[in-house]
Structure 1
């Protein structure tokens, strides 16, 4: 349990110091090991394919649309999309510029799509912090899938902030 709590605290803050300060008996090396082990466990195909799934059937999408409408009054919405910067250690000089973000630190810009219950439907963690949200979206499988649904006359939408272009899907 302590491993999971340490990892969650690190994911939330990006800081080892706070965790070490809260739990005096945990050193940075121990916290680093906890974060690695929990992260490795979370990214196994069994976990990812079970818990992080974009709605692949019309019934799945209809249920999500119904929930969005009931909770927030948005018709046709199947997800909310945004990018979030996750701190990383400074990469090598050759590629450092790809990871230095507008918030003045090195990061991954991780795009996530969540449903009305904040369940993660899609994650794209392929890009460095210097990459704009719109570029990540334009080059994502989720974008291709939304375009395909639109071509097949299924009218579903994602809600995103001004970092994303307006599209009919």
Structure 2
């Protein structure tokens, strides 16, 4: 079995775990922080905006079962790729949408997928999700891991109340 990693930021990491976690070929999904300049940041530090980090998920996957291209397609359908300043009710740099690539191949796949999404006309506004090189990834505190399983009522209320679920229904499930 081969293993590769993918890192995606799409707003609150609680909402980014479940869609990947329940997909065949995914070995592990970890909530955490990346893209900043402070080593081993805490949730409170990241929320302050002073670390430069973005909430993200690190996905360990088997490329013989699911391709990076397929992961990118799942990613698009969890986010508003037209909002560079956060996602849904979560605003600011720590919630910005980013595909962090780990190789030139991942970069090429992400860029081509972004171009295809823009050309598709699925969204009227420009696709502004950033595509950046991967940086050190720091796992978040344990209580953030697999949050949808640990606290399903809170997770469901948050993902609906934040506007994420409604956006997905409107733009992707139609």
Normalised by the size of structure 1, how large is the TM-score?
A: 0.26
The structure with more radius of gyration: 1
Query: Structure with the greater relative contact order (CA < 8 A, sep ≥ 6): 1 or 2?
Result: 2
More helix by share: 1
